[in-house]
Structure 1
Amino acid sequence: MTVAVVITASVLATFLYRDQLIDHFIREANKNINTPIHVDKISVSSLSNFPNVTLLFDGVYVEESFANSSYPLLEAETMEFTFNPIAVFKGNYTIQQIHLKNARCHLKMDKNGNINYDIFKATDTTGAQKVKLELSKITLKDVTFTYSNELKSVNLELFTSSTMAKLQAVGKIYDIKSNGDMFLRYLMVSNSTWAKDKELNARSNLVYDDLTKHLTINSSTLDVKASEFIVYGSYEFDDRQLIELNVEGKNTDIQTLLSILPENTAEKFKKYRSKGDVYFDLIMKGEISQNKAPALNINFGLIDSELYHPDAQAKITHADLEGSFSVSDMSRLAGATLKLVNVRGQLEKNKFTGNLLLKNFDEPYVKCDFEGKVDINSLFKFYKAESIRSGKGIFDANINFEGYLKDLKTRAGSQKIKTSGEIDLENISLALTDFPLPLENLHGNLLFNNNDLALSDVSGELGKSDFLLNGFFKNIIAYLLFENEPVGIESDLKSNFIDLDELLAANSEENNDNTKYSFKISPRLVLKFDCDVKRLKFRRFTPSNIKGDLKVKNQVALSDNITLNAMGGSIALGGLVDASKNDLVRVNTSFNLRNINIDSIFYVFENFNQTFLEGRHLKGKIYASVDAEMTFNDNLHLYANTLTSSISTTIKGGQLNNFEPMQQLARYLDEDKLDRLQFSELKNDIHIKNRTIYLPEMEVSSNVTDIRISGTHTFDQRIDYKVVAPLRSRRKIDKDEAFGAIQEDARGRTMLYLKIIGTTSDYRVLYDKESVKEKVISDLKKEVKELKEAFKNKGKEESETIELNEDDYFDWDDN
């Protein structure tokens, strides 16, 4: 047959048989398809697939077979059917090729097992078919397939830019061969993503028997990256849906093994590669129904292989692994078992071995062991942890674990957990991503005992601070595995130096500035420390020989007795710090000061943020008993209105030097040497409340004179002091002006009554002429006494409310 004849036949068939071709095709479609088909435009062309005649459908919309649904089974921009032009002249309308472009096919199975692609009617054998299929070519271009199985919670989306297939029919048996590139956008099973954004190449060899509804998968090939999978098996769906699928990995690598893991797990290792023998095979067999799912068995492993990351400097060599995954019903992971046995390898110079058994993915039962020496630097060169910038040192581990992970969440269940073994730490250093201080020179021994961890001589340095721990971490495994589990620490803590400034600043989001602190107590932390710290630094406070106890629970820190040396003397303190309220830190404390340099107190506390009375004005030793309550924010900024304190104080060998108000008093008292007052002992009870310091009357017997002082001093530096001093000569005062401010006391001395009022930066010394001088002083003493008693009772009640019980300190609720 010449080319001219073919061309002529194609053109004539297009124009002369156009209507017959369309009419026969639509008639046959209506006879065989039982769902509506909508087409925007139908045309016939001799050019689209020359020399064949092409029937073109534009804007195709095929409805799914679910009752009362018009949702599309197929949407296509164009769908083309080709015919032999010579055969068309003879009335033979046999479809030879199908071309589908820019289409989406939506396949579904509902929760009752019904499918939406049951669109073909039962075959009518009584009449001759005008349109037949003998497909030598099927092409798919830019076609997306989605599949949703509500019965088994399976969802996938697959895209092909170009796939070609061939179909041969003998009766009702169809032989289908295809080859094409595909892109798996996602495969989800029970809300777990098992594959995502994977490039595939598929070469299939299928035989479908429409009478028995049986699909045979002859040896077919699926390429995933560098790995090749041979696929074969069968699928039938007449009375029941039965599947038997076999997959064998050829030329596989570590990516083959990772491909069986859920996407969120495999993502961390997707760039790793392997050299050596990696094997993989899979068998899926069983019934698919509402109550049943196939069994799945996977075997995989490594034989003398290398594992490495292209960008890493370290690799695991001589790697061996025997693995299996099996489940009798894929919809019930409670029956699944994962085994990794005879795991061996060598990371640079250090060898390791291990085994893992995991049963019941819903409530995991784990049995595992690990033995080997690991170089931290090598480990992080092989696997880059996001939370760790760098590390070095060696840990030598021999550990075993067995039990249900859920048992770690309860005190009774944790007794069933079997954990044993130990880890030796050798000169380990770590630099963390989200914490600015390095952990360095970590040494010691960790010994596992079920859910607890014993620490033996664990020492190291955190920034400028050092530590030595001996004790226990209770519930440590549950704490590491579960988000809301507590951890109990019972230990002796020894340290040569703790830089509290650095540690607090490290917890702050603004840790580039050591004046920014962040104080928090984890709700998961239960702590009991016996401390022995030689030196500590917090701002200007640098105590030494710090000894005592510290307990923490429910975000409350408590100490019964801490002793330390500081500021030339000693301090004994106790109390609690409550950080259980959001962004608030409440402190309730009692402490005793002995032989403390009073000028050092003013230096350490930076003159209490005022310039009226400073450390340079004062000398002497202070002895005091202090009860105090106050509230800070989590940056340790004091809310001044919350400070309440009762202070019983004695100052010995005191001096008041160059204090300006005393210079102003001199002209009233006929004294010329009030710039250097010395007194042997001074006692008073002081109270602080509502941003005000209450100072009851006290007598200051100095080397110059005897003065009685009382009054108030507010936090915004407003002062109201009463001063009573003996008047030895009247020559410096104006008698008329001082009238009413002079009075004899019980000993017959002439006393001058003065007051100092105003602010610390702008104050005046005036005669105090009120007629109730003695009553004012008496009332102030009474008020301070009442405030002191109320404060002590309140502190006692609160201590009883939040006291931590020693006996059940490390018990926590099973819930």
Structure 2
Amino acid sequence: MAVYVNANKAYILTLVTRELNKNLDGSLVIGNMEPTLLSGLPGVSLTLNNVELKDKRWNIHKHTLLQAKDIKINVNSLALFRGTVEINKIDIADASAYLYTDSTGYTNTSVFKKNKKATTAPDESTSSSTEIRKVMLQRLKLVVNNEKGNKLFQFAVDELSAKVDYPSKGWKADVDLDVLVNSLAFNTKRGSFIKNQRLKGPFNINFNADSSVIQVAENKLKIGDNDFVIGASFNTSKEPTTFSINIRADKIAWRNAAALLAPNIKKRLDQFNLKNPIDVKCAIVGNMGPGGDPLINVVADVKDNVLTTPGGTVDSCSFRGMYTNNFFEGRGLTDENSAIKLFGFKGAYEQIPFSIDTAFINNFKAPVATGVVKSKFDISKLNAIVGEDLLNFNGGQADLNLTYSADLVDLMLRKPYFTGYVNIKNADVNYKPRNLRFKNTGISLKFTGPDLFINDLRLQSGKSILLMEGSIRNFLNLYYTAPEKIVLNWEIKSPQLHLGEFLGFLNARPNVTQVKNKSKGTFGRDLNNVFNSSKVNLNLKVDKIYYKKFLATDATAQLYVSESGIQIRDTRVKHANGSINVTGNLYQTGDATRFAINAVVANANVKSLFYGFDNFGLQAIRHDNISGNLFSKVKLNGRISNRGILLPSSLNGLITFNLKNGALLNFQPLIDVGKFAFPLRDLNNITFGDLGGALDVRGEKVNIRPMKINSSVLNLDVAGIYAMNKGTNITMDVPLRNPKKDEGSSKQEKMENRMRGIVLHLVAVDGEDGKIKVKLNRNRDKN
């Protein structure tokens, strides 16, 4: 046999080449052939060197179908003597195969489909039925590049061994494979599955000639470091070939599973994580022809796990999750038609239990999340989410049921649409930036799409009780995108309001410390930003308002609250048997609150008014020194301390007034003057029919514009400076003529007679004891 092979090497090479070229539409070139007799006994083994297989269009695309340094072929020696070749085994080493399909659909594998017009009748004397019994591949680089179908498969086969049997119809193969998958891209625009992962294990493959279906039985394999069970089928009777691949993994880590998927899916899944391994099933169905992605369905069962998301961590998490790129049948296998479905989702976010019966995230190009979330929990559990420097809750219960739909931007909710409710009962709340405490609080939040309605809100702070109804239009959209545009419309009623319990609003709102643990999400930061940036339209009705000695009734107010301060649009109260109407602004600063107000006082009892406003900071005249009905207009700006105390030095403005039926009672400075000037007159009770004037307020000094005072006891002209601290200098011209002499005279006659006779020129100045002293104005002529 050795003599024969060596003597006929050229002839045998021709036979082998002819056999291998049979039915080829291209060229097969074998550089050399050497027999290796002993390794192939009882047959003949031939080593083919430098083998190249090219299709007829190689000069155009330049992709060689097969290049091999060494191909060992075991042939039937008896058939060889008959002039035919039967190949029992092929062993290929150090080879590369490139299966190429261009954009028109032409493929270099057409080399195996000889043109029928060139086919001649078979020569039975030289033809044979070639059956390959064994295949061994080592160090093979395999590329399947389908430009028309946007598919790219690249494999580095370290070793492949196959044993092939030929039943009556088709064939069977037992394959052991060790391969590195460089690319498994069913759509190159989406990227590769199991990229750079090693696939290792056995395959049992069966081909049925009648159905032209290749069936890969389920078997245990390794992909990377993970164990899988994989099965598949390929239908070659169809053009193009269709396939179905089923993959199952028990107890695989979330990140390991995500690493096997295409980048368009992986980059989304990588933003989540599950602490414990999960069970996963995946089905991939498609074809090798042109088109988009294959159909992909993934199912994962999660039980009592820890889920990490961009919005926070969910403990005790259980659900069945599904991914598909065919959410709506017939709309294509695309990102736009991809979805994640969650069924029976249960978990706890910062110890707050919740459940979602069914949730969807669909359209991966512009993701939308939908579902129904339910929860009941102790309200104190919100402390960990909101942040201890913003709100602190004690006691009370929360109950929520919300149906939601929202866009997902970087897997965070945007443009949400909620319907449902959140009810809170019997909660104690401390709003720390303002140091406001409310007890026995209840609230009902009703979501109707993007709008929020706040019903049955009851706040109790000390003795104050507030009953509130509110609404925010387009709340959910603005909450995430533009909190500064949020406007809360409040309708507030109260039987009694103690302003001293709300002095926290006079403080500048401090910066709130952010939640330190980023894993707790952004809820607290977002909520703080909303509180800090949003605006409030407030309509207030209060039966009684208390502040120190001040008491007002039947109060109504229209306020606009923003980050910069409070706009008092219209505030009306009844006080001192009269009414007060106020408009203006409050501006918060670090150590005080600036105000600019316009006020109108109508028919107020001046004694009660002075008492309620703590004598306006005046020391010389107090509420028990004055009586009558006051009409006044005030235009004033200044500051109020964080403790609610008026800062006289900051005042600036104009006060005009008219006092009807007034009286000056026990006013000591005039009593002191009267002891020597008017000893026979009652200066303890000086009445005024009508007293009007104007005061310019400049800090702690009040400029009294020239004013004529006509009273029951005396007449006087007054002008000068009244100082709340030091610097009082008020000139007074007091005629000694008794006004009673003019009783019965006309108004004109009284005006002509009021300054006749002797006139005392007095001046009121600061005394050494801090009290105002009245003395003769000896410098009048000089002034």
Normalised by the length of structure 2, the TM-score is: 0.52
Q: Which of these residues, 695, 699, 711, is aligned with residue 720 of structure 2?
A: 711
SS of aligned partner of 2:396? strand
Matches within 5 A, 1:769-784: 770=780
Counterpart in 1 of 2:93? none
- How far the C-alpha of 1:500 sits from its partner, in A, is 3.2
1:493 to 1:217, Cα distance in 2 relative to 1, 3 A: same
Amino acid at match of 1:536: I
Counterpart in 1 of 2:343? 342
1:376 aligns to 2:378 (yes or no): yes
Matches within 5 A, 1:11-22: none
SS of aligned partner of 1:721? strand
Whole-angstrom distance in 2 between the partners of 1:254 and 1:350: 23
Whole-angstrom distance in 2 between the partners of 1:768 and 1:403: 84
Counterpart in 2 of 1:737? none
Amino acid at match of 1:473: I
Matches within 5 A, 1:648-659: 648-650=657-659, 652-659=661-668
Counterpart in 2 of 1:493? 492
Q: Deviations over 1:64-115 (max 9, x none)?
A: xxxxxxxxxxxxxxxxxxxxxxxxxxxxxxxxxxxxxxxxxxxxxxxxxxxx
1:340 to 1:599, Cα distance in 2 relative to 1, 3 A: same
- How far the C-alpha of 1:550 sits from its partner, in A, is 3.0
C-alpha contact (below 8 Å) 1:574/1:590 kept by paired residues: yes
- How far the C-alpha of 1:650 sits from its partner, in A, is 0.8
C-alpha contact (below 8 Å) 1:308/1:382 kept by paired residues: no
Whole-angstrom distance in 2 between the partners of 1:264 and 1:505: 45
C-alpha contact (below 8 Å) 1:527/1:552 kept by paired residues: yes
- How far the C-alpha of 1:575 sits from its partner, in A, is 1.2
Whole-angstrom distance in 2 between the partners of 1:434 and 1:707: 54
SS of aligned partner of 1:665? helix
Counterpart in 2 of 1:724? 733
Q: Deviations over 1:279-306 (max 9, x none)?
A: 34679999xxxxx999997845556647
- How far the C-alpha of 1:529 sits from its partner, in A, is 3.1
Q: Which of these residues, 674, 686, 699, is aligned with residue 694 of structure 2?
A: 686
Counterpart in 1 of 2:473? 474
Whole-angstrom distance in 1 between the partners of 2:365 and 2:695: 62
1:257 to 1:771, Cα distance in 2 relative to 1, 3 A: farther
1:666 aligns to 2:662 (yes or no): no
Q: Deviations over 1:601-657 (max 9, x none)?
A: 25634651x54x152652313412223131548957759566212322315442332
1:306 to 1:364, Cα distance in 2 relative to 1, 3 A: closer
C-alpha contact (below 8 Å) 1:206/1:215 kept by paired residues: no
Whole-angstrom distance in 1 between the partners of 2:395 and 2:140: 69
1:399 to 1:352, Cα distance in 2 relative to 1, 3 A: same
Counterpart in 2 of 1:94? none
**Can you give the 5+ residue segments of structure 1 that lack an aligned partner in the other structure?**
1-122, 126-168, 178-204, 234-243, 287-291, 310-314, 407-412, 512-519, 730-743, 774-815
Counterpart in 2 of 1:546? 555
SS of aligned partner of 1:671? coil
Counterpart in 2 of 1:202? none
SS of aligned partner of 1:502? helix
SS of aligned partner of 1:717? coil
1:546 to 1:603, Cα distance in 2 relative to 1, 3 A: closer
C-alpha contact (below 8 Å) 2:429/2:441 kept by paired residues: no
1:528 to 1:436, Cα distance in 2 relative to 1, 3 A: closer
SS of aligned partner of 2:679? coil
1:570 to 1:617, Cα distance in 2 relative to 1, 3 A: closer
Matches within 5 A, 1:174-573: 207-208=179-180, 216-218=198-200, 219-220=221-222, 250-251=250-251, 278-280=278-280, 299=298, 301-302=300-301, 305=304, 319-324=318-323, 335=336, 337-345=338-346, 352-359=355-362, 364-370=367-373, 372-377=374-379, 380=382, 389-402=392-405, 404=407, 419-431=418-430, 436-462=435-461, 465-505=464-504, 508=507, 524-538=533-547, 540-552=549-561, 557-559=566-568, 561-566=570-575, 568-573=576-581
- How far the C-alpha of 1:589 sits from its partner, in A, is 1.7
- How far the C-alpha of 1:354 sits from its partner, in A, is 3.9
C-alpha contact (below 8 Å) 1:390/1:432 kept by paired residues: no
Amino acid at match of 1:279: D
Whole-angstrom distance in 2 between the partners of 1:490 and 1:358: 33
Amino acid at match of 1:665: V
Counterpart in 2 of 1:155? none
1:322 to 1:604, Cα distance in 2 relative to 1, 3 A: same
1:316 to 1:772, Cα distance in 2 relative to 1, 3 A: same
SS of aligned partner of 1:749? coil
- How far the C-alpha of 1:493 sits from its partner, in A, is 1.0
Bigger CA radius of gyration: 2
SS of aligned partner of 2:610? helix
SS of aligned partner of 1:718? coil
Amino acid at match of 2:342: V
Counterpart in 2 of 1:767? 777
1:390 to 1:300, Cα distance in 2 relative to 1, 3 A: farther
SS of aligned partner of 2:626? strand
Matches within 5 A, 1:3-82: none
Matches within 5 A, 1:106-125: none
Amino acid at match of 2:502: L
1:746 to 1:353, Cα distance in 2 relative to 1, 3 A: closer
Counterpart in 2 of 1:750? 758
SS of aligned partner of 1:251? strand
Whole-angstrom distance in 2 between the partners of 1:258 and 1:722: 91
Counterpart in 1 of 2:626? 619
C-alpha contact (below 8 Å) 1:536/1:542 kept by paired residues: yes
Amino acid at match of 1:721: I
- How far the C-alpha of 1:488 sits from its partner, in A, is 2.4
1:562 to 1:723, Cα distance in 2 relative to 1, 3 A: same
- How far the C-alpha of 1:569 sits from its partner, in A, is 2.7
1:249 to 1:708, Cα distance in 2 relative to 1, 3 A: farther
1:703 to 1:551, Cα distance in 2 relative to 1, 3 A: same
1:644 aligns to 2:656 (yes or no): no
Counterpart in 1 of 2:704? 695
% identical equivalent positions = 12
- How far the C-alpha of 1:366 sits from its partner, in A, is 3.6
Whole-angstrom distance in 2 between the partners of 1:263 and 1:303: 15
C-alpha contact (below 8 Å) 1:664/1:765 kept by paired residues: no
C-alpha contact (below 8 Å) 1:599/1:615 kept by paired residues: no
